[in-house]
Amino acid sequence: MKNFIRSLFTQLRRWLSFKVNRRLTYLGVLILIALIEALASGARRQTFIFFAVRDRKPVVEDRLISQSGSLERRISRYVEEALLGPSSVENYPLFNRDTQVVSLLVRKDIAYVDLSVDGVFTPDPAVDLRSSVTVLRQGILRNFPFLKDARIFIAGKEPYTKKIGSPGPEAQEKK
């Protein structure tokens, strides 16, 4: 056993005597440390969509979000991160900065997200509420593919629930 350990250190000393081998060893150790840290953190890359200031086109951002906790907590973290807005000042946030998640519930593979009343106000007149709600809904469905649907509510009311041109529930009851 002593000879084995001694021969192992001899081989290691011989390997590290070359400059290229030392650099490769350092690089390998750094990659190993980064891999262990990434696996231990429990974070996952998720995509966020915002609107560019210049041309109002959608811009995609990737962020690492912790995946610990319940499903509701993970979706809530995603929505809160989306409400914080983009990391670049060249992009508009989806909603007003004061908007908060009031409640979040997942039942039968459908996420129900209720935002505060501040969510009615968009940061720019060119970005309408319908676009912001649609982008947030699509982001939730893209990052949590096992969900069948995501319903966004603002102050307890679901915006844009009826299709344009279709009669409301009152007209259907009269028939």
pLDDT digits (tens), the chain, 175 positions: 778 888 988 998 898 899 998 999 999 999 999 888 877 776 778 888 888 888 888 888 988 888 788 889 999 999 999 998 888 888 888 888 888 899 999 999 999 999 988 877 776 676 788 888 888 999 999 999 999 999 999 888 888 765 544 454 444 455 4
CA distance 15 to 129: 63
In a domain, 145, yes or no: yes
In a domain, 110, yes or no: yes
In a domain, 17, yes or no: no
CA distance 81 to 74: 11
Burial class for 115, CB neighbours closer than 10 Å (0-12, 13-18, 19+): buried
In a domain, 171, yes or no: no
In a domain, 29, yes or no: no
Q: What residue type is 74 in one-letter code?
A: R
Model pLDDT, residue 163:
52
Containing structural domain, residue 112: 41-154
In a domain, 168, yes or no: no
Buried b (16+ CB within 10 A) or exposed e, 140-163: beebbeebeebebbbeeeeeeeee
In a domain, 31, yes or no: no
In a domain, 68, yes or no: yes
Total count of domains within the chain: 1
